[in-house]
Structure 1
Amino acid sequence: MITFNNLPDINDIRVNGYVKIKNHGMIANNRTAAIVAMDGTIDWACFPNFNSRPVFDSILDKNRGGFFSVRPVDNSFLNQYYEEFTNILITEFLRDHEIVLRITDFLPISDYSTINYPEIHRFIEAPNRDVDIEIRFRPNFNYGMERPMIERSRYGYLFTGSQNSVGISSNFKFKLENGNMLSSKVRLTSGSYEWIVIPTGIKHISPVEDYKSYDRLEETREYWKKWSNSIDYHGVYHKYVLRSALALKGLFYDPTGLMVAAPTSSLPESIGGERNWDYRYTWIRDTAYVIETLSFIGLKREATKFLYDIMDTIEKERRLRTIYSIDHNYDELFEDIINYDGYLGSRPVRMGNRASEQLQVDQYGSIINALYHLNKIGGTINSYMWDFVIDILDKLSIIWKYPDSSIWEFRTEPRHYVYSKLMSWAAFDRAIKMGKSLGYSAPYSKWRKTENEIKNDIIKNGFNKELNSFVQYYGSNDTDASLLRMPLLNFLPVNDPMIQGTISLIEKKLMHGDYLFKRYNEDDGLKGDDNAFLLLSFWYVEDLILMNKIKDAKNALDKILNMSNHLMLFSEEIDFKTLEPVGNFPQAITHLGVIRAITKLNNAFKKIKNSDF
């Protein structure tokens, strides 16, 4: 029997009309995703693809946004969890110590990646008693600026706009309210159940039975369980590794093999601030993290495919971008401001991302680092790939000297950021090691000379002797938490006094309680305070492991993992004051950090005999 211990009340999960970011789960199908709140509301979903315009978006405007909610009429306690080894999400409503309503949500998926089901399936059941429920359905078109044509049939309703159509097929009877919202209040008798299907991009509504929801559910269940069984990890914190892996897998876009950084846009990094970005794109710097992390848990095939898909995209365009559209539609990268209130009044609401226009030198090092790690796990680096490496280093040998916008994509004047120089150094270091191990020809002496030149330049201009630390950019008097990665890249040994001094200054200036890190103290020209960037906490855990501070690493990791939500999902950041998740959700790079830190700690445990852990 489920008790009420730690279960929230249905009224506790919202603040000022918005469901808290942490009180959501994600369903996904390698084409798109939907965000489902603990109260049965789908308040974000884009169809047919991740980067399509949303049909449900009330998470960004509670009044004008679209949504689809199913909930009991009376107050309830809430429970939400995933079906084991899957991305099938279950939301339960409890009263008097028993479940009165259960909703099972999923986006259909199968092994045939060319088959697409752009639809949401919701299985609604009353397992123990009669229950009165309320259903409300309001799809959105062009951010509420377009009034759809609404057609009623015996099987449901079809909403048609200029670029998309959204239907609802159900045996429930609805009434149309306010010109664009459907509502229904019905009683489910004990033991009864119904399906609701939300198809998109269709011209006609079919009977709900025609969507074969039971078959789609079984196919989806089989897909996720089969994929989960391919993960080769049996160490500590296994449940976190599995959930992070499933979240990451759900963020891949099958037609091109690219992965979105998050399925959402403009969820604020600071409540009420303007750090609100569209993350439904692929960042080239994330590539190395993806390759290395997937390899840590035995997903060599996935890692290889991802990199070759990225390389195919680069090759077709004959250029290296900072950000890639998952479907190669670069018109969508243009940043537009939507006339929405924003989550909890956090404006502006952005669609598209202007950072795509920036020079971010670290991206060149990131792609070479990705190739290096692919080679380390036994992936194929063919002669065509090696030709690409030579081209990249030819360009990097010139532009590493340029100021840029850094890993943090500052929208201020470009500077000589130390992290960007670090990744340039890493590119030459990795290329030399990789090329020689493969027996490929290259101008190694020239590369070695450039590698040494960059390293000496960083030490000369990026290290502040008075602070005994590397700094954010040349001439700066402050540090940057991205420099936690210096020892992880083996720029200098972790016990080198310059590295120790850098880590100490980062701890002093940028680490707050519970091992949370601010990225920098520099004024970045944006309103609102910056919050804790979670990936940095996992880098710090890796540094502690390198320093052989295993107990400290475990303590730090425990603290951070406990900041995940009820589904073990993470957003991009944590609010320093409230410890609430903020930023786009769920965030790929955070979950990559989860897996990396856990697997490295697990390897450290294996080396400790008679461990207390």
Structure 2
Amino acid sequence: MENKFKDIENYGIIGNLETCALIGSDGSIDWMCLPYLESPSIFAAILDNKRGGHFAIQPVSKFSSFQAYIKETNILQTTFNTPFGMVTITDFMPVNLYDGTKHHRTLYRKVKCIEGHIRLELSFKPRFNYAKDVPDFKLIEGGATCSFEDNELFLNTVVPLKIKEDEITSQFNMRKDMEIWFVLQYNQQDHYSPEYPPDYGKFNEKLDALQEYWQNWTYKCHKICILEDIWHDIIARSGLVLKLLANPESGAIAAAATTSLPECTGGVRNWDYRYAWIRDSAYTIQALFHLEHVQESQDYMRWINSIIKQGTHPSDIRIMYPLHKDEAVEEQMLEYLSGYKQSSPVRIGNAAVNQKQLDIYGELINAIYDTTRYGKDISDKTWEFIKNFVDYICEVWNTKDRGIWEIRGEPLHYVHSKLMCWVAVDRGIKIAKFKKTETSCNWEETKNEIETAILEKGFNKELNSFVQSFDSGAIDATTLLIPRMGLLPYDDPRVQGTIEAVMKNLMTEKGLVYRYKNEDGLPGAEGCFLICSFWLVDSLALSGRLDEAISIFVNVLQLMSPLGLLAEEIDPKTGKLLGNFPQAFSHIGLVNSALYIGIARGRKHKGPKPQGFKHSVPYKKEKFKIKK
């Protein structure tokens, strides 16, 4: 069975809240790590279609296919049409909720013939440790096992299997209404043992129970929804994606489910995003809160609190963390893998973990501050950490760093980093007022110093725009966040000048926005960053420029995958998705942009109004069609 590279948008995702699997529209599982999202892969065909390993089920004859989720769930269905009949594969993983009961790490594949008669083939080709190790295969009653060291996979099915060289294969016939299950269970030393023999009679009950779980969890509109009605399903899907990337045990949310999917096909900008970044904090909490996922918002805040309590000094705080304490972050290159569509190197871990990025302190404190805006209290112990962070920022804010984009060149005085230093001090002062307590005497002075530096050195009068770094001429999309953080209001001429500069220099005709276009110390090109497009939508909406905001928003939605999933970037020439997938920050940006459009239109919403926003503007309701 030949496994060709597929476009990123031709993948769906399922998961169990510990790990995820990417399943192609051809019925092949091409990416899965076990036991956790950031653990070594067992299927990695998406990074090397010959060596990586896969678990494929598809018709022997020529076929066409399409994918869809069961409504309001993370249960994926792939339907194949052939000249002889139609068959559907339903893929799902029961979730692990850490509720005190034992759970098996299991993936179910239900194959059902809808009409006609059809012959299918199976190729089960796991490769442990990022395709470095070929397991030992063994046929057993009712299936097969494959093992390497202390890792073992059980594949259970009623279909006869055979071992062919370095994989397990089978061909089998199906007729209308016939149903066959394939059950993949993972066992690791000191973890739960698999269910054997499996009870096939209860599998549909498991499917029904999982469907009920997801449909009860997913976002529902109550009375008047702040989100545009026709965008509801798209927003709900974003919530479901965020849930898959979240770990209920730690509360952390991974930036993406994959590593090394390139920012430009054939290029070298290939990074591992299977970790939780601190800078996503406030945006994530806001998105989860407005999707009414209060528990997930609280879990995420619990993770934030665990981070700030880890270091004995503020400088000990890292920019990113693994979802599990025992997983590594240090960067390695897997030179033996070809990379997605020959995009190498393939990286695991992320060297940016050791970078100095001053903005993370502002992100942390802003996330904590936002909980007070949503009515939550802050403990005295957390307040002590906040004071230490703000005192630290007062000492180091005027030093250089690598910035939000994690530039691997020389450190600079990045305007966004200074902005977030200002946010750290500003929010520290506001939290002190909320708690009715005293602050250090130099906080107000430092806040004013940072503001003066940003306004004088970070604003280029010739360009009439804020710029990437002090005294530079580089336009950067992060400058759109200045009013959102409350430094200036949206109607300030300098803010409007910055919006115009971003649109003129970084935006494509479709409203896609590059991060920046100046040199950054790395070879090769990259696509347009989706989060930057959403920042532009936010800025336009909260400036009262709703026609432009909605036009760009709809244009971006047109470029989602058929399943409503977003990667990190989009190729502006082809409209293809680029980068790691699905990307949490892109989906968070989508949710918040829909929220801001609703707020700007004067629709009722929970929580406070956005920073820098003054009032809504009248807007005529129209129907916008999303082409899928």
Q: CA deviation at 1:578?
A: 0.9
| Matched letter for residue 278 of structure 2 | I
Out of 297, 307, 324, the position equivalent to 1:303 is: 297
Distance 1:348 1:220, change over 3 A: same
Task: Name which of 518, 522, 540 aligns with 1:526.
Answer: 522
Q: Deviations over 1:237-279 (max 9, x none)?
A: 1111100001001111122111111111101111011110101
Q: When the two structures are superposed, what TM-score results if normalisation uses the length of structure 2?
A: 0.91
- For residues 306-345 of structure 1, the aligned pairs below 5 Å read 306-318=300-312, 319-329=316-326, 331-345=328-342
Q: How does 1:503-582 map to 2 (within 5 A)?
A: 503-582=499-578
Which of the residues 206, 220, 225 maps onto 2:210? 220
Q: Secondary structure at the match of 2:68?
A: strand
Q: Following TM superposition, by how much is the alpha carbon of 1:460 offset from its aligned partner in structure 2, in angstroms?
A: 1.8
Alpha-carbon distance in 1 for matches of 2:199, 2:106:
14
Runs of at least 5 residues in structure 1 that lack an aligned partner in the other structure = 1-9
SS of the equivalent of 1:200 reads strand
Alignment of 1:354-503 (within 5 A): 354-443=351-440, 445-503=441-499
Distance 1:279 1:541, change over 3 A: same
- Rounded Cα–Cα distance in structure 2 between residues aligned with 1:183 and 1:100: 21
The aligned counterpart of 2:621 is: 612
Alpha-carbon contact 1:157-1:205 (below 8 Å) kept:
no
Alpha-carbon distance, 1:582 to partner: 0.6
Corresponding residue of 1:140: 127
Give the distance between the partners of 1:505 and 1:519, measured in 2 at CA: 13
Structure 2 residue 168 is matched with structure 1 residue 191: no
Q: Choose from 246, 251, 273 the match for 1:252.
A: 246
State which of 120, 129, 134 in structure 1 corresponds to 2:116: 129
Q: 1:41 aligns with which of 6, 28, 35?
A: 28
* Paired letter, 2:249: P
The C-alpha deviation readout for 1:474-519, integer Å capped at 9, x for no partner, is 2322111111111211211222222222222211111112111111
**Pairwise CA distance, 1:103:** 0.5
TM-score (structure 1 length as normaliser): 0.93
1:206 maps to: 196
SS in 1 for 2:510: helix
* 1:305 Cα deviation from its structure 2 partner: 2.3
Q: Deviations over 1:168-210 (max 9, x none)?
A: 11111122122x2111111012210111011111677833436
Asked if the contact 2:97–2:248 (Cα under 8 Å) also holds between the matched residues in 1, the reply is: no
The 3-state SS of whatever aligns with 1:142 is helix
Contact 1:22 1:580 in 2 (8 A): yes
1:50-102 deviation digits (Å, cap 9, x = unpaired):
01111110000011011011111112221211111110011101246x96110
CA distance in 2, matches of 1:257, 1:112: 12
Q: CA deviation at 1:608?
A: 5.8
Q: Is the CA contact 1:143–1:338 (under 8 Å) kept in the aligned structure 2?
A: no
Structure 1 range deviating more: 153-162 or 259-268:
153-162
1:383 aligned partner, one-letter code: D
Deviation at 1:214, TM superposition (A): 2.5
Choose from 217, 230, 235 the match for 2:227: 235
Query: What does residue 6 of structure 1 align with?
Result: none
CA gap 1:99/1:322 in 2 versus in 1, 3 angstroms = farther
Measure, in 2, the Cα distance between the counterparts of 1:245 and 1:221. Answer: 16
CA offset digits 1:527-582 (Å, max 9, x no partner): 22121000011111111112101121111111011110111110000012111001
Q: Name 2:612's counterpart in structure 1.
A: none
Q: Give the C-alpha shift of residue 220 in structure 1.
A: 1.6
Closer, same or farther: CA 228–534 of 1 in aligned 2, 3 Å: same
1:367-393 alpha-carbon deviations (Å, 9 max, x no partner): 011011111111231111111110111
Residue of structure 1 equivalent to 2:266: 272
Give the AA of the match of 1:227.
W
> Structure 2: which amino acid aligns with 1:235?
L
**One-letter amino acid matched to 1:362:** D
Letter in 2 for 1:393: V
Matching residue of 2:62:
75
Q: Give, in whole Å, the separation in 1 of the partners of 2:525 and 2:372.
A: 41
Q: What code does the residue aligned with 1:162 have?
A: E
Give the conservation status (yes or no) of the 8 Å contact 1:174–1:184. Answer: yes
**SS at 2:400 equivalent:** coil
Aligned residues: 597
Tell me if the contact between 1:92 and 1:99 (Cα under 8 Å) persists in the aligned partners.
Answer: no
Partner amino acid, structure 1, of 2:181: W
Contact kept in structure 2, 1:338 and 1:351, CA below 8 Å: no
- Partner SS, residue 404 of structure 2: coil
1:610 Cα deviation after fit: 7.4
CA contact (8 A) 1:231 1:298 kept: no
Structure-2 separation of matches of 1:406 and 1:286: 14
Partner of 2:606: none
Provide the rounded CA distance (Å) in 2 between the counterparts of 1:556 and 1:130: 46
Q: Residue 134 of structure 1 contacts residue 183 of structure 1 at CA under 8 Å; is this kept in 2? A: yes
CA contact (8 A) 1:85 1:242 kept: yes
SS in structure 2 at match of 1:126: strand
* Paired residue secondary structure (1:128): strand
The 3-state SS of whatever aligns with 2:586 is helix
Contact 1:231 1:297 in 2 (8 A): no
Offset at 1:117? 2.6
- Counterpart AA for 1:375: T
SS state of the match for residue 409, structure 2? Answer: coil
Q: Summarize deviations over 1:6-39 as a string: whole Å, max 9, x none.
A: xxxx99xx9xx20110001100111000001111
| 382-391 or 341-350: bigger deviation | 382-391
2:247–2:253 CA contact under 8 A, matched in 1: yes
For 1:221, give the aligned amino acid: Q
| Alignment root-mean-square deviation, CA | 2.1
Contact 1:196 1:208 in 2 (8 A): no
Q: Decide whether the 8 Å contact of 1:468 with 1:501 is kept in 2.
A: yes
The CA distance in 1 between the partners of 2:352 and 2:85, in whole Å, is 47
Give how far 1:113 is off: 4.3
Aligned mates of 2:345, 2:416 — CA distance in 1: 29
Counterpart-to-counterpart distance in 1, 2:201 and 2:432: 52
Contact 2:104 2:195 (C-alpha < 8 Å) held by counterparts: no
Give secondary structure in 2 for the equivalent of 1:122.
strand
Decide whether aligned partners of structure 1 residues 235 and 334 sit closer, same or farther in structure 2, where only a CA change above 3 A counts: closer
Change in Cα spacing, 1:137 to 1:437, as seen in structure 2 (3 Å) is same
Deviation at 1:146, TM superposition (A): 1.9
SS of the counterpart of 2:483? coil
Query: How far off is 1:338 after superposition?
Result: 4.2
Say if 2:59 and 2:118, in contact at 8 Å, map to a contact too.
yes
Distance 1:457 1:360 in 2: 18
Q: Is the Cα–Cα contact under 8 Å of residues 42 and 68 in structure 1 kept in the other structure? A: yes
Q: Distance in 2 between matches of 1:341 and 1:610?
A: 51
- Alignment identity in percent? 35
CA distances 1:127-167 after superposition (whole Å, capped 9, x unpaired): 11111101111001123322322222112111111242222
**Uncovered stretches (5+) of structure 2, i.e. residues with no partner:** 604-615, 623-628
